[in-house]
Amino acid sequence: MHPASARHALVAGSVGNFVEWYEFGVYGSFATVIAACFFTPDGGDRGQALIATYAAFAIAFFFRPLGALFFGRLADRAGRRPALVLTVSLMTGTTALIGVLPAYSSAGTLAPWLLTLLRCLQGLSAGGEFGGAVSLLTETAPLGRRGRHGAWQSFTVALGLLTGAGLAAGLATLLSESALYAWGWRVPFLLALPLGAVALWLRLRLLETAPPPDPPAAEPQPEPEPDPDPGPGPGPESVPAGGPTPVEILGAVVLGVGRIMGWSAAGYTFLVVLPSYLQATLGTTFRQALAATFVANLGFAAAILPAGVLSDRVGRRAVMLAGSVLVVLTAVPVLHLLRDPAISVALKAAVLAAAGAMIGLLAGPGPALLAEMFPSRVRSTGLGLAYALSNAVFSGCAGLIVTTLVRHTGNPDVPALYAAGACALAVPALLTLRPDDHLRPLR
């Protein structure tokens, strides 16, 4: 591919992720405000309302696998561009509609149902977005740079979360609490319209990257060369040349979920759920909680591209194992430091940035890792489904699980234990990667 076309594919492929995760950053930052506006009747239990808010958050994630199947098949059959145009259009429209939804005070019980419906539509869009975007980014990457190009998907996720959290923090600073609850929270959702319009324009100008056509049935397929170093466990070359069977695709999807579950759980725990946790459990103010989340996301963003570049040199396995082990070892101490009143604000900020950077070690190589597990004809569907299932179980449920367990057990270490446990379970799956998977051509 011509370098200019590759650069355009890089921008067009990653910009939709920015719009998607900008909205998720806004939703996570304003979770307590949304709980009050949509899930709390007069005199209602605000703690229970927050759980309901995260329940709506989780339900949307379970629509992601459906989106991955629908838009993934479209991308694998008709090309990446049509699927990417549709996903960014759907995400932009539903996000903007959230900004004009009537609150509980005016629409009653209809309000939370409408919000949940829009969140489900966003889940469909998000499920299709990842597979098409990562396929585009990795398939157009120059030789030896799949990790770097795939990392742009995660980097724009970080930019979206940062922008959402930063805008929420700015509005919380500029507006009074009454204005913020009355109308201020709507502004970031409405800003999705111009952002989405730019993303749509870029994708409409995208050159097509449809997968190659299937060979004629009568044409004999060449035998694959024997692998001198089969390595431990299944890898990207373990599928026969004739194409993967449904059972093999399903096995790769399950393995992919196992490899990125730590990324999903730790990322949402420390980057999205953190504001409401700090307010509900540690008693911080809304502004302090948003500032803490912004710092964590800065560390996350700073580590992603270097992690992707490093994975092109030393392999996906080494970088992601390092990130997983670091989360296991430090998640609980991080929360203890945040709760310690004797620790300075500067040190707490540094700890939060370091926690975000550890997740960046997982998010940088993650997209390329998934792309290398599937052949072109099923790549968007396969990697999109693995990512969607992992996010549905370990990300979408993070806020609901953490908030509920903290509320009922009183244990403030629950978020750290959740993130560390998921990363520990991911280690055996990551060990099945070949050390040289990053050097092998995409199939």
Predicted local confidence at residue 337, as pLDDT: 85
Of 318, 359, 276, 195, which is closest to residue 29 (Cα–Cα)?
276
State the pTM of this model: 0.77
Report d(CA 331, CA 320) in Å as an integer.
16
Q: Six-digit token pair at 430?
A: 């990551």
Report d(CA 280, CA 410) in Å as an integer.
11
Of 25, 19, 135, 27, which is closest to residue 71 (Cα–Cα)?
135
Give first-to-last CA distance, the chain, whole Å.
17
- Count CA atoms closer than 13 A to 193's CA, side-chain side: 9
Of 102, 264, 95, 272, which is closest to residue 189 (Cα–Cα)?
95
Where is 3: in which H helix or E strand? helix 3-29
Torsion of CA 130, 135, 141, 143, to 10 degrees: 130
Residue 57 — φ and ψ, nearest 5°? -60, -45
Q: Which CATH class is domain 3-208+244-439?
A: mainly alpha
Report d(CA 55, CA 420) in Å as an integer.
22
Predicted local confidence at residue 302, as pLDDT: 93
Predicted local confidence at residue 231, as pLDDT: 46
Q: Six-digit token pair at 31?
A: 């979770």
Of 437, 303, 435, which is closest to residue 361 (Cα–Cα)?
303
Residue 133 — φ and ψ, nearest 5°? -65, -45
Q: What is the mean pLDDT of each run of 10 residues along the chain (443 residues)?
A: 61 76 77 78 62 69 86 87 88 90 85 86 85 85 86 87 82 86 89 88 71 45 50 44 76 94 88 71 73 84 94 94 95 85 83 91 94 90 91 76 78 86 95 84 76
Domain boundaries, the chain: 3-208+244-439
Collapsed DSSP state (helix, strand, coil) of residue 259: helix
Predicted local confidence at residue 50, as pLDDT: 66
